[in-house]
A = this chain, B = another copy of it.
Amino acid sequence: MTNKKEINAGIIVIGNEILSGRTQDTNTSTISEWLNTIGIKVMESRAIPDIEKYIIDTVNELRNKYNYVFTTGGIGPTHDDITAKSISRAMGLIYGPHKEAMSILEKYYKSGEFNEGRQKMAWMPTKANLILNPTSGAPGFNVENVFCLPGVPSILKAMLGGINNKLIGGDPILSLSIKLRTVESEIAQSLQIIQDSNQKVDIGSYPFFKAGKLGVSLVLRSVNQSDINNCAIQIKDMIKEKKIEILEEI
């Protein structure tokens, strides 16, 4: 099996409401799970405020650092929606009414309802590729390796499918979870040894508390199923030796 090059991405969540604690971000996990399935690994996610300098600096840093950048939020019609304008500035592109986006929104709204606020949603880098929005009309956009999506989770989810064919992924990232009735400190040293001899598998250890009982989820991740299998055998030998109960394996 030949491995393709690892393809990676950064996520930028734009909006004061995330940083004030008012809104719980769920877009990071939505985008990350979806990217996993097409072999793209998310290396970092940054939540930043609706401030032009933050957007420009963060977009420019991450688009040079990663294969892909996904932004969410700030593409609606109100004064605090400054993502499209800021990204145009960051990338040195003309910000203006996008012909195709104007045409889509004109058709979407009833005659006489395509007001100035709604027209603003068609303003973006004029040369952008559109990301179609099957649920609420206003499209997202893509320029080079930067993909701009809305902040509303249900609308964002509906738009991801339309981007699949624009991305070149690596091998899908596979995983195996083993839930144990133990505590981390019981297995910490043995796990370190197993991780050291399984460099191609990323072993995560996550304590959990459920229904008053303690447990640990081990998560093995790799692009190679046989590497995961080999690592799992070593973990199960260790578990057996320590007489630890396996609660679930998925």
Contacts and interface: CB of A to CB of B under 8 A. Distances in A.
B36 A29 contact: no
Interface string A109-126: 000000111101100000
A219 B78 contact: no
A189 interface: yes
A46 B49 contact: no
Interface residues of A, dominant DSSP? mixed
Interface residues of A, number: 64
Interface of A: 15-26, 28-34, 36, 41-50, 54, 76-80, 115-118, 120-121, 152, 154, 173, 175, 184-189, 191-192, 195, 202-207, 209, 219, 221
9 contacts: A17-B206, A17-B219, A18-B28, A19-B28, A20-B219, A21-B30, A44-B48, A77-B188, A116-B189
Given A16-B221, A20-B33, A25-B25, 5 more contacts: A17-B204, A44-B54, A46-B46, A80-B204, A117-B186
